[in-house]
Amino acid sequence: MSATKDRLSYGEGREALMHAVMHIVAMKGLRGVTYRAVAAQAGVNHNLIAHHFGTLEALLTATMEQAVDGAIRNTELALFADLDERYADVLIASVSSEPEVHLFQFEMLLEARRRPDLRDPMRRLYENYVDSVQAALQARGVPLGHDLSTAIFAALDGLMLQFLTIGNPEHIRIAVITLGKMVASVSKQGQSEAH
């Protein structure tokens, strides 16, 4: 870090490193993540990685956890059960404003296929998403189980992958709204069968 730059205050270095990892992975994939590349992107000394995380693997895991927490919060997954025009717009705006967060997650997911040490953390992080979907549905009185919540999240996840790679936000918006109509239909069917 040069003397002309403002020094990061305590705790900001950790955040800067995680943001740098997301950016690098989104642009170059995991092969681009090295001590020097992360430090250069963050504007800090590479020793800060060892200080805060110990290893690059620990930095990747912490970054993944932060990315999922942020994505759940920023995509307003609590509004998910509505799956209406408002939610579709919030989802697309969130992914558009921070594509590197979502690209990072997809890259980590693909890397877990090649690296068994990443499979359990990725499984747990995806379970967080599914649990958030299920909680949002239950909070709105939609009694869908874990399997259906998994299928709904998989559909949203696939739509976001298409959005990040192909684009076409209007197509994705319509698909999210259509998914909402399907969820509403299944919910109504389940409620009528219960009576």
Which range (78-82, 96-100, 156-160) has the least confidence?
Answer: 78-82
Q: Which residue has the higher pLDDT, 185 or 194?
A: 185
User: Average pLDDT, whole number, for the chain?
Assistant: 85
Residue 33: pLDDT band with limits 50, 70, 90: very high
Q: Which residue has the higher pLDDT, 48 or 194?
A: 48
Residues 6+ apart with CB under 8 A from 52: 13, 14, 17, 59
Share of the chain above pLDDT 90, in %: 39
Query: Please, is 64 exposed, middle or buried when counting C-beta atoms within 10 Å of its C-beta (0-12, 13-18, 19+)?
Result: buried
Phi, psi (degrees; rounded to nearest 5) at 84 = -110, -170
Mean pLDDT of 2-21: 73
As a whole number of Å, the CA-based R_g of the chain is 19
Judged against a pLDDT cut of 80, whether residue 108 lies above it is answered with: yes
CATH 1.10.357: does it fit domain 55-194? yes
Mean pLDDT of 12-28: 92
Residue 7: pLDDT band with limits 50, 70, 90: low
